Structure 1
Amino acid sequence: MTTKEQIHLPVMGCGTWAWGNRLLWNYQESMDSQLQEVFNLCVSSGVTLFDTGDSYGTGKLKGRSELLLGKFTQEYQGINQEKICLATKLAPYPWRLTRKSMLNAGSASAKRFGKNIDLVQMHWSTANYLPWQEWQLLDGLGDLYEQGLVKGVGLSNYGSKRLKKVARRFQERGIPLKTLQVQYSLLSTYPVLELGVKETCDELGIKLIAYSPLALGILTGKYTENNLPSGIRGWSCKQILPDARSLLQCLQAIAQSRNKTMAQVAINWCICKGTLPIPGAKNPEQAKQNIGAMGWYLDSGEVTELDKEAAKVKKTMVQNPFQSK
């Protein structure tokens, strides 16, 4: 790869898809073949952006997520093979203090992928607790691009103010910022409505990626106050569900009228807002449902109705503590 190469994200129109798929990895060996099936299904359906992070499956699992994505990419043979885009996020760990540390981290991720990284992203901003550390690491991301080791550079969990500062720094080096990831859904509109990241991204020519577009599964309708998942997800559902009844009813009504699922409507809402949603898929059925959110659009009245119901919800998703302003 050279620094002149450009990364191309999937875009709606002419038979392609305005959507990325983020695989949520189950690290048991018995699941690998099923995840390969998910990967194959997504790529053959036109979903070619796969997002992960070097902090997913670290420790004893030694970067299992990146290893699996690399393996799946190498073993896939079929339509859209040349369009597969592997994206990863490098974590600003406390022990990563220099630009060289990010070069090393990027090299390690590329080794796990078995190929150069298409899109490398800063996983989160340290502006809230260690701002001086961040600039060295961002410079390291820029070095990866300038040395031709990645096709594109992006950010995750940045607000408009911080995004503009970083964009200026990269612009001075002639490095274009390609993407920004934020937590965005009908139950997490804070980054867009309050931080204004969509307007800033549009101004700077950056594609906005929406992670957690299904709000930990709450927007799928599969959870109720009497049927809660375990762990932190269950706690979140218990806090949010009572106040979100009207929104979920609206989502269900639109889904029924469209002959779609609630999840498909929630994902499509993100697309209608001009973002690239990256829902997770752990099995082929979930992947098929996500793919069913493509190829159609909610009308303006349906979007407005969902917006109004979302605005009424007081207890929404907890924001990522690393989200900067």
Structure 2
Amino acid sequence: MHTTTLGSQGLVVSAEGLGCMGMSTTYGPSDEQEGLATLGRALDLGVTFFDTAEAYGPFMNEELVGKAFVGKRDRIVLATKVGFRYTEDGKLAMDDGKPRVTGDPTRVRKAVEGSLRRLRTDVIDLIYLHRIDPTTPIEVTIGALAGLVHDGKVRYIGLSEASATTIRKAHAVHPLTAVQMEYSLFEREAEHNGVLAAVRELGIGFVSYSPLGRGFLTGALKDLDNLHPTDFRRLDPRFQGENLRANLRLVERLTEIAEAKGVKPSQLAIAWTIQAGTVPIPGTRRIKYLEENVAAADIALTPDELAALEQAAPFGAAAGERYSPGMMATLGH
């Protein structure tokens, strides 16, 4: 796989990364050995950019990623995230369905120390603030992360799900290398809220998470019958009732374009995010789907195909909010 420079600070990553969250949480029970095998195969295929977070599990996913790359640390770029609060028994702290976020410098530094330990490394290549804490000035939080860069514990800094205003404030304190947002043919808000414009102006890389629309854009998901009872998509607004039916009709249109090109819908969706100038991090637990996803990095879309995709999946085409109300309340600060 070819590589690309993420942002303008010098971080080189594979053109497509691997989102590791689903190997440990969110989509039902996980299998550690399967996760380790998939991570190893990704490295063999040329993927070097691996994305995790302390919140995934919580903590379990960082431990899995750390275990997978013992003795291989110099071959990978590790990205993780901090910025949520946890209960004493290690669960995500919630207030009326809304996760509690924190940008408090002391908590952030402590969280990074925990991530370093679980990832079995002396330095994190890219640390994101997972969500923005509106009660702590972003300049204060970025100042703490910049201190960790100075101490050699972090190489580069990023933000996840931040507003254009917050991105500009943070970048003025310490250069940001990446901003991570949900971005796909299903979710194009970043094109319209100033975020993509801001990162391009400032020379910040853009990392697209959920480039497959939480599985919709694979074309394989037709209903919820085969989802595990603990799969969070059973509560996701885009998978409910008429939203589900409307979104499946959208997927049908995208599948037709993919079939005309001779590729899978998932590959078409990933290639679109790459051609848009972003680094996607599709997640999967299984080697079969990993190999399909990685092959998308070599697919080039013609102007006519891009125009057809624009017509089939314009901004706002997906029906329903992308998260529950509590999670939506953590976005865009």
Matching residue's letter, 2:277: G
Deviation at 1:274, TM superposition (A): 0.8
CA contact (8 A) 2:83 2:132 kept: no
Number of aligned pairs? Answer: 297
CA distance in 2, matches of 1:140, 1:249: 47
CA contact (8 A) 1:20 1:277 kept: yes
CA contact (8 A) 1:92 1:126 kept: no
CA distance in 1, matches of 2:56, 2:290: 20
Deviation at 1:70, TM superposition (A): 0.9
CA distance in 2, matches of 1:226, 1:140: 43
CA distance in 1, matches of 2:30, 2:232: 25
CA contact (8 A) 1:103 1:143 kept: no
Deviation at 1:74, TM superposition (A): 0.6
1:270 and 2:273 matched: yes
CA distance in 2, matches of 1:88, 1:226: 30
Pick from 68, 73, 82: which aligns with 1:72?
68
CA distance in 2, matches of 1:186, 1:29: 28
CA contact (8 A) 2:24 2:60 kept: no
* Structure 1 segments of 4+ aligned residues over 6 angstroms from their partners: 27-30
Match of 1:240 in 2: 243
3-state DSSP class of the match of 1:294? helix
Pick from 152, 159, 177: which aligns with 2:163?
159
Could you say if the C-alpha distance between residues 310 and 159 of structure 1 is closer, same or farther in structure 2, counting changes exceeding 3 Å?
same
1:117 and 2:124 matched: yes
Match of 1:260 in 2: 263
Most deviating of 33-42 and 222-231: 222-231
Q: How big is each residue's C-alpha offset from its partner over 1:274-325, in whole Å with a ceiling of 9 and x where there is no partner?
A: 1111111111112112112111211121112112221272515525432215
1:190 and 2:189 matched: yes
Deviation at 1:96, TM superposition (A): 5.0
Matching residue's letter, 1:321: A
Deviation at 1:98, TM superposition (A): 3.6
3-state DSSP class of the match of 2:193? coil
Q: How big is each residue's C-alpha offset from its partner over 1:218-240, in whole Å with a ceiling of 9 and x where there is no partner?
A: 11111225857455413522343
Deviation at 1:243, TM superposition (A): 2.3
TM-score normalized by the length of structure 2: 0.81
Q: How big is each residue's C-alpha offset from its partner over 1:130-178, in whole Å with a ceiling of 9 and x where there is no partner?
A: 2x354433221111112111111101001212211111122xxxxx210
Deviation at 1:252, TM superposition (A): 1.1
Match of 2:144 in 1: 140
TM-score normalized by the length of structure 1: 0.83
Give the share of equivalent positions with the same residue, in percent. 27
Q: How big is each residue's C-alpha offset from its partner over 1:241-298, in whole Å with a ceiling of 9 and x where there is no partner?
A: 3323553233212221222111111111111111111111111112112112111211
Q: Please tell me the root mean square deviation across aligned C-alpha atoms, in Å.
A: 2.5
Matching residue's letter, 1:71: K
Match of 2:332 in 1: 324
CA contact (8 A) 2:24 2:57 kept: no
What are the residue-to-residue correspondences of 1:156-305 with 2, within 5 Å? Answer: 156-170=160-174, 176-192=175-191, 194-225=192-223, 229=227, 232-235=232-235, 236-238=238-240, 239-305=242-308
Match of 1:100 in 2: 106
Matching residue's letter, 1:294: A
1:83 and 2:75 matched: yes
CA contact (8 A) 1:117 1:150 kept: yes
Most deviating of 232-241 and 98-107: 232-241
CA distance in 2, matches of 1:19, 1:144: 27
CA contact (8 A) 1:123 1:157 kept: yes
Matching residue's letter, 1:186: L
Task: Could you tell me which runs of 5 or more consecutive residues in structure 2 were left unpaired when the two chains were aligned.
Answer: 1-8, 86-99
Matching residue's letter, 2:216: I
